[in-house]
Amino acid sequence: MPEHPSDVRTDAKPHRSLFERLTALISPEPESRVELLEVLYDAHGRNLIDADALSMIEGVFQVSDLSARDIMVPRSQMDVIDISKPIDDWMPQVLATAHSRFPACEGDRDRVVGILLAKDLLRYYAEESFDVRDMLRPAVFIPESKRLNVLLRDFRANHNHMAIVVDEYSGVAGLITIEDVLEQIVGDIEDEYDFDEEEDNILSIKEGQLGPRWRVKALTEIEQFNDELGTALPDDDVDTIGGLVASHLGRMPHKGDVFDIGHLRFEVLRADARQVHVLLVEKLPPAEDLHD
């Protein structure tokens, strides 16, 4: 009895032409990551995949090669709260940094006793008998050597968003979040506290000790930067502020780097293993004023 049209399988592989089969024999499948990347670059060059897809695939490879120590926020740059102090002492820090979670310590950064979610602090204003210790979530500790692909799997399986990185002596070396890992694959992840409109490439913020300050996206065109800040940074060799910074340092900028270019002081606020994202720029006073 002939098959009914509805019984015909639709998941069968499409028939390959003789030319396609000959090509497969002449050009074998890639046998190494380098060969695979060459195939992907060729596919991008022939517009079979776009630049974003290529970048994410490279990011996936990179995640399997990197460990927690490569992208963690170092101990010295961690925003922590000390629950041995009154809440009013560290609440301004919580509001200023606007993080969604904080490592909670007792006096010393090596004594991390839990993770405090910022949303749990709402109870502080609603409950008369509020004990911050009751609000703490368990902290997850991982070694510096933990691979990012394994860490990402653990984050997903255990529904954690933050881990405390410890060194071989069990001291706190830094922290890492699930967002840090994902950004190695998809690039910078904007949240509700980030600015993502083109006109917000440069945001004026509260004046610092030396002069006016701005928060600047690294992808800001140097021409726009010069127009808004009244500067004359060169754009002969690079087009963006991030490119200028990397050229000035002679390496990939790291979070926390502070350096001067002309009469401007730059601080790297956000960066990952591949690029710098956000900079703090402060205009320095004339040299004679610094010596007064």
Same domain, 166 and 207: no
Does 100 share its domain with 85?
yes
Q: Which of 141, 162, 186 is the last residue of a domain?
A: 186
Angle at which helix 33-45 crosses helix 51-65, to 10 degrees, equals: 170
Beta-carbon-side half-sphere exposure of residue 254 (alpha carbons within 13 Å): 9
Q: Does residue 109 sit in the same domain as residue 78?
A: yes
Asked if the structure places residue 23 within a domain, the reply is no
Q: Establish if 12 belongs to a structural domain.
A: no
Q: Domain check: are 161 and 263 in the same one?
A: no
**What is the token pair recorded at 86?**
């009154």
HEC-encoded secondary structure of the chain: CCCCHHHCCCCCCCCCCHHHHHHHHHCCCCCCHHHHHHHHHHHHHCCCCCHHHHHHHHHHHHHHHCEHHHHCEEHHHCCCEECCCCHHHHHHHHHHHCCCEEEEEECEEEEEEEEEEHHHHHHHHHCCCCCHHHHCECCCEEECCCEHHHHHHHHHHHCCCEEEEECCCCCEEEEEEHHHHHHHHHCCCCCCCCCCCHHHCEEEECCCCCCCEEEEECCCEHHHHHHHHCCCCCCCCCCEHHHHHHHHHCCCCCCCCEEEECCEEEEEEEECCCCEEEEEEEECCCHHHHCC
pLDDT score of 66: 86
Query: Residues 101, 115: contact at Cβ < 8 Å?
Result: yes
pTM listed for this prediction: 0.57
8 located within any domain: no
CA distance 62 to 30: 18
Q: Are residues 284 and 254 in the same domain?
A: yes
Number of domains the chain is built from: 3
Asked whether residue 5 is domain-assigned, the answer is: no
Q: Is residue 80 part of a domain?
A: yes
Do 222 and 249 sit in the same domain of this protein?
yes
Report the CATH number that the domain containing residue 251 is assigned in CATH: 3.30.465.10
Write out the chain's pLDDT in tens, 292 residues. 554 544 444 444 455 555 555 445 445 566 676 777 777 777 777 788 877 777 778 778 778 888 999 889 888 888 999 999 999 899 888 887 888 999 999 988 899 999 999 999 888 877 777 889 999 999 999 999 999 999 999 999 999 999 999 998 889 999 999 988 988 887 665 554 454 445 568 887 766 667 788 888 888 999 999 999 999 999 888 899 999 999 999 888 887 889 999 999 999 887 776 678 888 899 988 764 444 4
Same domain, 178 and 79: yes
Whether residue 86 is found in the same domain as residue 182 = yes
Residue 247 lies in a domain: yes
User: Of 156, 186, 216, which residue constitutes the final position of a domain?
Assistant: 186
pLDDT for position 193: 47
Domain end point (choices 140, 160, 186)? 186
95 and 170 together in one domain: yes
Q: Is 25 part of any domain?
A: no
User: Looking at the structure, do residues 174 and 206 belong to the same domain, yes or no?
Assistant: no
One domain for residues 89 and 174: yes
Residue at 19 is within a domain? no
One domain for residues 205 and 181: no
Give the pLDDT confidence score for residue 22 in this predicted structure: 45
Taken as a whole, the chain contains a residue count of 292
- Domain containing 54 equals 30-65
d(CA 78, CA 91): 16
Q: How is residue 107 written in tokens?
A: 């006096």
